[in-house]
Amino acid sequence: NYPLYIRSIPTENELKFHYTVHTSLDVVEEKISAVGKALVDQRELYLGLLYPTEDYKVYGYVTNSKVKFVIVVDSSNTALRDNEIRSMFRKLHNSYTDVMCNPFYNPGDPIQSKAFDNMVSAMMVQVC
C-alpha cells in the first residue's frame, strides 16, 4: 500500500496530503470490503469531512484492479459537484489505463508518465 502517484497543487502541504491519503485508504478499504457480494463497485464516492477542523473533502475511487484514486479538495471550493468529481475520476482512470498500456511500465512502479502528469495538472488547474 504505497502511492503510485501523488500530486498537490494549491498548496504545497505535501506531507499533509500524504497523511490524509493514507488515512483515507483505510476508509476506502472498508468500503470495498463492505460491498461483499456485488463486485467492486466501479466508482465509489467518499464524501465527508474527515476532520471537522480541516474541512476538506476526500473522494475515493477504486478500479477493478484494486487501484485506488483519492482526491482531496478544499471544502472552500464549493463549486465542485459530484459530477465533476466523477468526471475527474474517469479521466484519471483513463489516463491510468493509458499508462498501463505501456509495456515498459511495470505495475507497481511509481507513475512517471509525462502524459499522465500533464493530464493531472490540467485537471487540477481546472478545478482550482
Partner 1 sequence: MEQGPGTVSGGGFISLSENEQRCYSDLYTLCQADSSGKLAASKVGELFRASQLPADTLHQVTELCGAKRLGYFGTGQFYVALKLLAAAQSGFPVRLESIKSEMPLPRFVGMKNDAEVLRYPNHSQNTESQGLHLGKPSVTIAQPSLDRNALKRTESLGDKQEPWSPLRSPPSSPSSSSNQDKPLSYTYRKQWSSTEQLTASYESKHPSRPLFRQEVSSPSNYGSKSSLTHSSVTQARSVERSAEEGSADYHDDPWRITEEQRDYYTMQFKSLQPDVSSLISGSVAKNFFTKSKLSIPELSHIWELSDVDCDGALTLLEFCAAFHLIVARKNGYSLPEKLPQTLQPGFLQIDAVSPKTKRDGAFLGSYSELVPPSQQQKEPAHSEQWEAINELPRTPEPLIVFKDDSRTAPQETNTVESTYPPLSDISTPKQEPRIDSCMSAFSPKRNPAFKDTSAEHKHLENTSAAKTDPPQELDLQVKSRTRQRSYSSTSIGDAMKKVEEPPTPPPRPQKTHSRASSLDLNTIFQQSSQGYKGGWLPPPALPPRPLAAQIPHFVSSTETTSQQKPVRKLNFADFSKFSEEEENAVKNDAQGQLGKAAGSSEERSSLKKDILPAQPPLKPIRRKYRPESQNLDNQDPTPPLPPPSSFSAPGTKPHPPVQKQSSRQKRAIQTAIRKNKEANAVLARLNSELQQQLKEAHLDRIALETRLDQLRPVSYS
Q: What is the DSSP letter of 10?
A: S
105 makes contact with partner 1 (CB under 8 A) = yes
121 makes contact with partner 1 (CB under 8 A) = no
- Residue entry with cell 456485488: 38
- Residue entry with cell 483515507: 24
When the beta carbons of 119 and 123 are compared against partner 1, the nearer one is 119
28 makes contact with partner 1 (CB under 8 A) = no
C-alpha cell at 50: 474527515
When the beta carbons of 36 and 108 are compared against partner 1, the nearer one is 108
115 makes contact with partner 1 (CB under 8 A) = yes
Among 11, 102, 121, 126, binds partner 1 (CB under 8 A): 102
Would you put residue 121 in left (φ > 0), alpha (ψ -120 to 50) or beta?
Answer: alpha
C-alpha cell at 97: 489505463
Q: How many other CB atoms sit within 10 Å of the CB of residue 54?
A: 14
When the beta carbons of 25 and 80 are compared against partner 1, the nearer one is 25
Q: Which residues bind partner 1 (CB under 8 A)?
A: 2, 97-105, 107-108, 112-115
